[in-house]
Amino acid sequence: MALSLPDSEILIRIKKGDQTAFEILYKNFYKMLCMFSYRYVKKVEIAEEIVQDVFFHIWDKRNSFDLTTSFKSYLYKAVHNNSLKHLRHQKIVLAYENSTTFSGSERVTGQQYLEETEVYQILHGVIDELPERTREIFSLNRFKGLKYQEIADRLQISVKTVEAHMSSVLKILRMRLKDYGTFILGLIFMNSI
């Protein structure tokens, strides 16, 4: 198979499950997309993960995947968006880390460390208890930074369904974490709608 197939031909073949066509697409764009993502995230391994996620999405949704632009345009836009999502997530993590230390040289107290550990245990306990679909939706929103519409598109469900799943998880977390600081609750309940 030639390396210069038109996008329409590659798309048709990928939709039919042709792994060779997918590999052509991957080989033609992977390195350039990694360099493009690296300009934003400044870490090679993160850039590679972002690009791999974009290609995984194409292959995973190949049966329903439609292309309204060129593959090049689609891939660059998807990598750009996912790189920015990663940066937004990092800001949240950094804000949380900064909140656990005092200004200057003071360190986190033993009590604060215990509370932080308890919050993580409660959070992960709640996540582990969730039904599989709810856990997947919560993880895509809170850990991958996807908006509700993006989750709905990825899982082929309605935005209302995503909202219902997220609402049930946040209600449980609100009840279980009511005795902890408002900053912790604020970080967990910051919406990525």
pLDDT in tens, 36-90: 999 989 999 999 999 999 999 999 889 888 888 889 999 999 999 989 888 887 7
Q: Please determine, looking at this structure, whether the domain spanning 100-193 carries the CATH number 3.40.50.10800.
A: no
Residue pair 21/1 in contact by the 8 Å Cβ criterion: yes
Closest listed residue to residue 176, CA positions, set 126, 133, 132: 126
- pLDDT at position 180: 60
Decide if pLDDT at 121 tops 80: no
Q: pLDDT higher for 182 or 31?
A: 31
- pLDDT at position 4: 67
Span 9-23, average pLDDT: 91
Decide if pLDDT at 3 tops 60: no
Rg (CA), the chain: 20
Q: What is the pTM of this model?
A: 0.51
Confidence grade of residue 172 (pLDDT, cut at 50, 70, 90): confident
Dmax (CA) of the chain? 63
Span 25-44, average pLDDT: 92
- pLDDT at position 1: 42
Closest listed residue to residue 24, CA positions, set 12, 41, 36, 35: 12
Overall residue count recorded for the chain in this entry: 193
Decide if pLDDT at 102 tops 50: no
pLDDT digits (tens, 9 = 90+) for 128-158: 788 889 888 888 887 788 888 999 999 999 9
* CATH 1.10.1740.10 segments of the chain: 1-87
* CATH 1.10.10.10 segments of the chain: 100-193
Confidence grade of residue 185 (pLDDT, cut at 50, 70, 90): low
CA dihedral 2, 3, 4, 9 (to 10 degrees): 70
- pLDDT at position 80: 93
Mean pLDDT of the chain: 79
DSSP the chain: --TT--HHHHHHHHHTT-HHHHHHHHHHHHHHHHHHHHHHH--HHHHHHHHHHHHHHHHHTTTT---SS-HHHHHHHHHHHHHHHHHHHHHHHHHHHHHTS-STT----HHHHHHHHHHHHHHHHHHHHS-HHHHHHHHHHHTT---HHHHHHHHT--HHHHHHHHHHHHHHHHHHTTTS-HHHHHHHH----
Q: Look up the CATH architecture of domain 1-87.
A: Orthogonal Bundle (1.10)
Six-digit token string for 55: 């290609």
